[in-house]
Structure 1
Amino acid sequence: MPNIRPSSDLRNKYNEISKFCHEHSEPVYITKNGEGDLAVMSIETYERLVGKFELYKLLDEGMEAVKENRVKPFRETVTDIQKGLPE
C-alpha cells in the first residue's frame, strides 16, 4: 500500500519520511490540497529506477536492430572489439 502524506509532513517530518524511503526502498507520495503532487524517494531507489529505464531503452534498441536485421555474429563483434584494444 502506498505511503501517502500531506505536503506539511515534508516540511515538519522530513527525517521520518527520509528514514521510511531509505528503509523500505519505495517512494512516499506527497499531496497538496488533497491532490497528488510529488513522489519522494531515496537517491538509491531513484538511481535504480533510472538504471532500469536505461536498460529497457537499450533492450528496445536491440530488439529494433534484430527486427531491421542490423546485427552481426557474436564472434565477429568480439574480433572487432579486440582489434580496437591497445596491446
Structure 2
Amino acid sequence: MPQIRPISDLRNNFTEISRIVHEGKEPVFLTKNGYGDMVVMSIEQYEAFRTAKHIDSALLEAQQQADSDPTRLEFDKVSVSLRERLTEKMGQTNA
C-alpha cells in the first residue's frame, strides 16, 4: 500500500520517511495542500526504476525496428555466427 504523507513530514519526520523507503523498499508520496507534489525513494529504488525504464526503451526501439524491417534471421545461423566472432575475438585478446 503506498505511503502518502504531507510534505511537512519530510522536515518533521525525515528519519521515519528514510526508514520507510529503505526498509519497505517503496517510495513515499508527498502532498502539498492536499495534492501530489513529489516522490521520495531510496537510491536503490531509483536505480532499479532507471534500469527498468532503460530496458523498456530498448525493447520498444527493438520492436519498432523489427516492425519496420521484414528481414528475419534463423536462430541457429545467428548463434553460430556470434560464436565464431566471439571465438575469433577471444583468440585476438590471448595473442
TM-score (norm. length: structure 2): 0.76
Structure having the higher Rg: 2
**Secondary structure of the structure 1 residue equivalent to 2:29:** strand
Structure 1 residue ranges without an equivalent (≥5): none
Report the Cα offset of residue 53 of structure 1. Answer: 1.1
Q: How does 1:6-45 map to 2 (within 5 A)?
A: 6-45=6-45
Q: Whole-Å Cα distance in 2 between the matches of residues 6 and 49 of structure 1?
A: 23
- Which one is further off, 7-16 or 72-81? 72-81
Aligned-pair identity in percent equals: 40
Q: Which runs of no fewer than 5 residues in structure 2 stay unpaired?
A: none
How far apart are residue 47 of structure 1 and its match?
Answer: 0.7
Deviation at 1:65, TM superposition (A): 4.0
Q: Write out per-residue CA displacement over residues 10-56 of structure 1, whole angstroms, 9 at most, x where no aligned residue.
A: 01101100000001111100001111000101111111111111122
**2:8 counterpart of 1:3:** no
Size of the aligned set, in residue pairs, is 87
Structure 1 residues 74-83 or 22-31, which shifts more? 74-83
Structure 2: which amino acid aligns with 1:4? I
> Take 1:35 and 1:70, find their aligned partners in 2: how far apart are those partners?
50
Q: Which runs of 4 or more aligned residues in structure 1 lie more than 4 Å from their structure 2 counterparts after TM superposition?
A: none
Backbone CA RMSD of aligned residues:
2.1
